[in-house]
Chains A and B, each alone.
Chain A
Amino acid sequence: MSKSKSDALIQIDGLKKYFNVGGGTLKAVNDLSLSIRQGETLGVVGESGCGKSTAGRTILRLYEPTAGSVLFNGEDIYKMNGSKLKAARRNMQMVFQDPYASLNPRWSVESIIAEPFKLHNLAGSRKELRYKIEQLLDVVGLKPEHADRYPHEFSGGQRQRIGIARALAVDPSFIVCDEPISALDVSIQAQVVNLLKDLQRDKGLTYMFIAHDLAMVKHISDRVAVMYLGKMVELADAEELYADARHPYTQALLSSIPVPDPDVEAKKERIVLKGDIPSPVNPPSGCPFRTRCPAATERCASEVPELREVKPNHFAACHYA
């Protein structure tokens, strides 16, 4: 733990984000603590309503947190004021899920990628700016002349490349990828994932990769965090998590993914969970997963399981892990 703390780029501590909704408080992120190391990819998986996207957005302070702190290079971004926060934003960028909604439809590609330069007064002369934009387009596998086109002329995968170029514009060190491939066709997903991996290798980027596709998360991540109802229930190295999942939810999640191999599918004993995901407005007492857990006991209803190190560098929040 001490080692990971020292080279942590992002240190999240006790992060909470609640929303007031009609009839109660939605605890979207409920006490999240973890660190993201310099140069690694942290995968975050979970089903809808588990708080993974909210966590990503709160870490970038797109939402104001309810409680907790996020240290970026040792400084708490929630304590930063206007100009300092703006400067910090240069280092933290985001790639969004929906390549159709994340680009302003009225802007040309040039204006879209120019926006971060202009916001941070890095534009320089018109010619310099144009050159930088063409460079960025080249990096993400598009052509210089595409700068004059408009988003509606591109396919989903190409738009996602434009979104990545925009995120890269101001040379960030940390990028939150919020389900960047969920909206893309299968044959295009691999293109975007390979691009993200190449960029990471070339520029030493740190990623938080949010997704629900576990196979893709395993492929791109060094470590994987599993979330359920606003809580992190398991955290381990990617290989380790898939080889030896300790939390019953992770086990069920892994067994739920249909594998594109008939032999594997024929042999597989699938764990099918009973019931639906409870509402995060009114989560179960004790362990949030106990209502669907095949191994739940009375202790699970009364006592909240703490995240503990069940094996070296493998954490799980289950009494019986």
Chain B
Amino acid sequence: MQTTNVETNKGNIDPGKFAKLEKTPKDVVESGSKSRSAGQEILYRLYTNSWAMVSLGILLVIVFFAIFGPSMSEHNFYSNNLDAQNLAPSGDYWFGTDSLGRDIWSRTWKGAQISLTVGLVAALADLLIGVLMGGMMGYFGGKVDEILNRFSEVLYAIPYLLVVILVSVVLGSNMWTIILAMTITGWINMSWIVRGQIMQLKNQEYVLAARSMGAGGFHIVLRHLIPNSLGPIIVTLTLSVPSAIFAEAFLSFLGLGVQSPAASWGVMINDAMKTWKYFPWQLLFPAGLLTITMLAFNIFGDGLRDAFDPKMKV
């Protein structure tokens, strides 16, 4: 009926257009957009961040050479060769030799092994203890929080070098004592981050909803609180790896850590210091790799942070 007498101010519209629109029910959710979980979103954002991906690539290359590098060269990392002291890089010694005639290529990648091991093991130890302690502080709150918090504050107040020296006096200087010494105080930062996250999340309504459905504490912590704190945890983890690597190099440089003939970047840099004007490659390779590794970890960590929380991006 409506179609028979139409009057428009444009005049030229086909009256048939004024027939009732037959609607096909539309999906309430935007169609076309692929459904992505929060995790997939994060991976996608990380994947499209070229700086982070380049850093990841560099780290993978370093890991590859740390594993296979030493065995690629026919020279091992510990044998002195008095006929081949302070040689420049060549086809035989790819990175040259040091003052005792040891192969810098093998030593550098052996040092990478130690650095990466220290970085990863120390970070994992921080993660385990930090998440456990922080989780308890955040979830229980009250007295538990207060006691654990005081305890960590006391630990935090002990000078870190003192701890390292004490531990190495008691247990001797090697890689594992460094890791132990770093872990004694290293977890505190992680625990505070986890504590803050959990405290904030445990008042979210979905946690209350789970409780109203009869969920116990275990379920809530494991299924709701920890997964939703993963972002800051992973970011803190990624950023604590380079600081552990640097700490190991620094302590070994001072002679408090890994001891010669074991190869560590810190030891190598210390050895090369005396003669770097004459044999710069002895310093260049360990110091350069230390720098690149730390930079790559930091940039990758930043990329992760942006991927987890795009609002933080500057």
A joins B in a complex: yes
Return chain B residues, CB-CB under 8 Å to A97: 205
Question: How many residues belonging to A are interface residues under a CB distance threshold of 8 Å?
Answer: 39
Tell me the smallest distance from the CB of B290 to a CB of chain A, in Å. 37
CB distance from B206 to the nearest CB of A (A): 5
Q: Contact size class for B?
A: 20 to 34
Q: Which of A23-31, A112-120, A204-212, A288-296 is near enough to bind chain B?
A: A112-120
Complex alpha-carbon distance, A102 and B213, angstroms: 13
Number of A-B contacts (CB under 8 A): 81
Report how far A102 CA is from B39 CA in the complex, Å: 19
Contact between B205 and A90 (Cβ–Cβ < 8 Å)? no
Known: A96-B205, A101-B205, A104-B224. A120 touches B212 (CB 8 A): no
Give chain A residues whose Cβ lies under 8 Å from the Cβ of B170.
none
Q: What are the residues of chain A within 8 A of B227 when measuring CB–CB? A: 106
Decide: A142 near B205, CB < 8 A? Known: A105-B38, A153-B35.
no
Complex CA distance for A92 and B27, rounded to whole angstroms: 32
Quick check: is A148 within 8 A (CB to CB) of the other chain?
yes
How distant is the Cα of A183 from the Cα of B208 in the complex, in angstroms? 18
A158 & B208 in contact (Cβ 8 Å cutoff): no
Interface residue from A60, A86, A93, A143 paired with B27 (Cβ < 8 Å): A143
Instruction: State whether A106 touches B37 (Cβ < 8 A).
Output: yes
B:203-224 near A, CB below 8 Å: 204-206, 208-215, 219, 224
Interface residues of A in 134-176 (CB under 8 A from B): 142-143, 146, 148-150, 152-155, 158, 163, 166, 170
Q: Return the contact of A93 from the options B33, B36, B37, B212 (Cβ within 8 A).
A: B212
Task: Check: A21 CB closer than 8 A to any chain B CB.
Answer: no
**Complex contact A170–B27 (CB within 8 A):** no
Quote the shortest CB–CB distance from B297 to chain A (angstroms).
Answer: 26
- In the complex, the answer to whether B214 meets A90 with C-beta atoms within 8 Å is yes
Of all A-B residue pairs in the complex, the 5 with the closest CB atoms, nearest first, are A102-B205, A89-B214, A86-B214, A101-B205, A96-B205
Q: List 25 A-B contacts (CB under 8 A).
A: A60-B212, A62-B212, A85-B214, A87-B214, A90-B214, A93-B212, A94-B208, A94-B212, A102-B204, A102-B206, A102-B208, A102-B209, A105-B228, A108-B37, A116-B213, A116-B214, A119-B210, A119-B213, A119-B214, A146-B28, A146-B29, A149-B35, A150-B35, A155-B28, A166-B213
